[in-house]
Amino acid sequence: MWLAKRRLMILNAMQAGFGQFCPIALASEVLTQRWMTLIARELLAGSTRFNDIRRGVPRISPTLLKQRLETLEHAGIVQRRRAASGGHDYALTQAGQELRPILRGLGEWGQRWARDIKPADLDPGWLVWNMHRRMNVAQMPHGRTVIEIEFADAPRQRHFWIVSNDGDIDVCLKPPGHTVDLAVRCRVRTLAEVWRGLRPLKAAIRAGEIELRGPAVLRKNFPSWLLLSAYAPIERMR
How far is the C-alpha of 236 from the C-alpha of 97, rounded, in Å? 27
Domain boundaries, the chain: 2-113, 119-225
For residue 162, what are the CA distances in angstroms to 137, 142, 151, 153, 230? 12, 15, 14, 19, 19
208: number of CA atoms within 13 Å, CB side?
0
Contact call for residues 196 and 231 (beta carbons, < 8 A): yes
What confidence tens digit (pLDDT) does each residue in 181-232 have?
999 999 999 999 999 999 999 999 999 999 999 999 999 999 999 999 999 9
Residue 85 has what pLDDT? 82
What confidence tens digit (pLDDT) does each residue in 86-126 have?
889 999 999 999 999 999 999 999 999 999 999 999 999 99
Question: Looking at the whole model, is its pTM more than 0.95?
Answer: no
Residue 120 has what pLDDT? 95
How far is the C-alpha of 99 from the C-alpha of 14, rounded, in Å? 18
Average pLDDT of every residue of the chain? 94
Exposure string for 184-202, b = 16+ CB within 10 A, e = fewer: bbbbbbbbbbbbbbebebe
* Vertex 165: Cα angle to 160 and 171 (nearest 5): 25
Domain 2-113 and domain 119-225 have a common topology = no
Q: How confident is the model at residue 78 (pLDDT cuts 50, 70, 90)?
A: very high
Instruction: Say whether domain 119-225 belongs to CATH 3.50.50.60.
Output: no
Where is pLDDT greater, at 131 or 85?
Answer: 131
Question: Which bin fits 47, alpha (ψ -120 to 50), beta or left (φ > 0)?
Answer: beta
**What is the 8-class DSSP label of residue 118?**
P
Least reliable range by pLDDT among 1-15, 28-42, 57-71, 124-138: 1-15
- Fold adopted by 2-113: Arc Repressor Mutant, subunit A (1.10.10)
How far is the C-alpha of 107 from the C-alpha of 54, rounded, in Å? 20
For residue 52, what are the CA distances in angstroms to 27, 154, 182, 214, 221? 26, 22, 26, 30, 29
How far is the C-alpha of 204 from the C-alpha of 219, rounded, in Å? 13
